[in-house]
Amino acid sequence: TDFSVGYRVIEAEWVPAGKTVKVRGNSYQGPMSVVTRWRVREVSVVPIGADEDAKARTEADNKQKETKKMNDELRKYLESKGLKKEATEDEALAFAGSLEAKRQVPELPDVDKIRAEATGAERERIGEIDAMCKKFSCENFASDFIRNGATVETAREKVYETVHKRMAEKEKERKDFPPATIGADERDKGRDAVRDGLLLRAGLKIEKPAPGADEIRGYSMVEMARMCLRMAGKETGGNLMEMVGRALVTSDFPYLLANTANKALFAGWEMASETWQTWCGIDQVNDFKTHYRPRASETSDLDEVPESGEYKYGTRGEAQESFAIATYGKLYAITRQAIINDDLGAISEPARAHGEAASRKIGDVAYAVLTANAAMGDGKALFHADHANLGTAGVVSVTTIGEGEKLMGLQKDILGKRRLNIRAQYFMAPLTIKTAAEIFFATLLIGGVANQPNLQNIYANAFTRVYEPRLDDSSTTAYYLAGAKGKTVNVFFLNGIQAPYLETKQGWSVDGVEYKVRIDVGAKAMDWRGLVKNTG
């Protein structure tokens, strides 16, 4: 009697041709599939089985004739299929045989159907990859994707990565090499021509005018405004007031007007005749706070040190002067009416005048130090008897000038111990006495006493002489001697900027453009010892 057992494969191992594997002590040579895990599905009793080892045998030995009990696992399986628990072994075997009759051979898979589905999926993959590569201009990638069996998702990631790199490279090229447009270049050329044409028409010098400036200098201001609108791509029609108003708001015209005004401002500032630079020092501060400048004395004289003697420390005195700068400024405007009236003087002349005014203000501040005779750091006036810098009143002569030199040379340091021997270098006087003073300094021989009729004028052509009308406003007879530049009166500028500053904005209280001119300046006598005054 044999058994036929049906089972379900759980795990199997494929053994290739020429290979041998061992499973549970048994060797298997490929090609073949070796089942390593399985589960019983059914058992049948048959007369002749396929496996010679699957037989039910009896032994001659009586001890071996005992009936073996059915496998517990097989018994449970048969009971799960309907075998009664009280059934005998024979009944169980018969029940197992009945199950065999009912067993059906499983259907084989439909190979044609599987092949058709696989072919359709492959065609769909190829179609999607090909369409995607064409869409993003990556046709050279398509054949590689298809040949290598890449999925649609893998191909999509590669294509997107390539497109992203292309975009990044183009963006870098755009930033490194910005495209030049002819329109922008022409606008720049036109603006430069109008700018220099305005300057030439205003009478301001230009070393190398832009091409076209000579032609545009003959244009009216209205024509220049219309030209600026046209270059900016703006409407040029409408009445003149509206057109000029648009030009002052939406084009380069206000910039060009401001440039002309700024050049005229500096021209006026440079043309102003000022004398303070001749004898005043120039310095700077970085804010408007009160500043304190210390002034240290010379050190003590050196002492003789005897043999085995000790060296002693010297002493130095110190004083300080305080000062602050201030802002001085003014507003003016260029109206639409002035532009329509082609009044170029309304642009250049006010700017030039304000440049001169800024320069004048610096001179006012500098000379006010002399005429105001303000208090110094010790609380006494700049020119004071205690400062030993006031000469005996008298007209310019060898005697009065000589006295002034003596007062200056005999000045002592802060400690009052050492003579400074300061040399007078500048002579400053009001315009009223210029003629008399110049005759004196031009005279080589001067009248003397009876036995010395002609004496040499030791001050002939002496000093750097400055005649300043601001001094006339204070006194028409007083004159001054000053020592080295930078050691008497210093003029201070904010951050060292000596030129006036021009700001512009669209007019609010007037129809046009408003301008603001300002300068930040201050002045202070840093020491009285280098200055002498004679009231004349």
Residue 523 banded pLDDT, cuts 50, 70, 90: very high
- Residue 291: pLDDT band (50, 70, 90) is very high
Residue 102 pLDDT grade (very low, low, confident, very high; cuts 50, 70, 90): low
Separation CA 359–CA 268 (nearest Å): 8
* Residue 441, pLDDT score: 94
Average pLDDT over residues 383-405: 96
Give the integer Cα–Cα distance in Å for 135 and 89.
75
Q: Which phi and psi (to 5°) does residue 218 adopt?
A: -85, -5
Return all residues near 5 (Cβ < 8 A) that are at least 6 apart: 40, 42, 43, 44, 54
Q: Which of 249-258, 325-334, 468-477 has the highest mean pLDDT?
A: 468-477
Nearest by Cα to 494 from 351, 357, 324, 271: 324
State yes or no: pLDDT of 103 exceeds 60: no
Q: Is the pLDDT of residue 480 over 70?
A: yes
| Of the candidate ranges 25-34, 276-285, 460-469, 527-536, the one whose mean pLDDT is the lowest | 25-34
Whether the per-residue pLDDT at 362 is higher than 70: the answer is yes
Residue 168 C-beta-side C-alpha neighbours within 13 Å? 6
* Contact (Cβ atoms closer than 8 angstroms) between residue 271 and residue 264: no
| 335: Cβ contacts below 8 Å, ≥ 6 apart | 346, 507, 510, 511, 512
As a whole number, mean pLDDT of residues 216-230 equals 84
**CB neighbours of residue 267 within 10 Å:** 20
The candidate with the shortest Cα–Cα distance to 459, out of 439, 476, 477, is 439
- List pLDDT tens digits, range 14-53: 777 778 877 777 787 777 777 777 777 776 666 666 555 5
Q: Which residues pair with 263 in a beta bridge?
A: none
Confidence of residue 55 (pLDDT cuts 50, 70, 90): low
Higher pLDDT, 292 or 448: 292
Tell me the DSSP string of 95-147.
Answer: HHHHHHHH--PPPPP-HHHHHHHHHHHHHHHHHHHHHHHHHTT-HHHHHHHHH
Q: What does the pLDDT look like over 227-281, one tens digit per residue?
A: 888 888 888 777 778 788 888 876 788 888 888 888 888 888 888 889 999 999 9
- Of the pLDDT bands very low, low, confident and very high (cuts 50, 70, 90), residue 180 is very low
Q: Judge whether 248 and 231 are in contact, CB under 8 Å.
A: no
Residue type at 452? Q
Question: HEC profile for 464-523?
Answer: EEEECHHHHHHCCCCEEEECCCCCCEEEEEECCCCCCEEEEEECCCCCEEEEEEEEEEEE
For residues 193-211, average pLDDT: 83
* Highest mean pLDDT out of 168-182, 385-399, 450-464: 385-399
pLDDT of residue 200 exceeding 60, the answer is yes
**What is the band of 174 on the pLDDT scale with cuts at 50, 70, 90?**
very low
pLDDT confidence band for 415 (50 / 70 / 90) = confident
The residues, ordered by sequence, that sit 6+ positions from 8 with a Cβ below 8 Å of its Cβ are 38, 39, 41
Q: Higher model confidence: residue 460 or residue 163?
A: 460
Predicted confidence band at 54 (pLDDT cuts at 50, 70, 90)? Answer: low
Q: Which residues lie across from 428 on neighbouring strands?
A: 466, 480
